Amino acid sequence: MKELKFNLIRNLTPETTSDFTVKQIVRMTSDEEFIQLAREEVKAIQYFVKIEFPDWNYWKNKEQKLMELIIKLKTKTNENKKN
């Protein structure tokens, strides 16, 4: 999950941004913001998921990881709201 969060932020920052800075942004980003970023990423890759060859799984796996992240973060957010 940490790597996925890192990559979501890394994709939004300029190439010259250091990994340290990206890690700091990850720490400052709320779960709700990560949910939104993951949803946007899922929408962005939908075309690639549909046209991917049956024996290739890169885009399907990426979509699955993003969906798992969304579910975990939503569950965590809902539990925090109950407390």
Please report, in tens digits, the pLDDT of each residue of the chain (83 residues total).
899 999 999 999 999 999 999 999 999 999 999 999 999 999 999 999 999 998 899 999 999 999 999 999 999 988 887 76
Q: How many residues does the chain have?
A: 83
Residues 6+ apart with CB under 8 A from 25: 9, 13
Predicted model pTM? 0.85
How far apart CA 47 and CA 61 sit, in angstroms, is 14
How far apart CA 60 and CA 3 sit, in angstroms, is 17
Q: Label residue 53 left, alpha or beta by phi (over 0 means left) and psi (-120 to 50 means alpha).
A: beta
Tokens representing 46? 């939908």
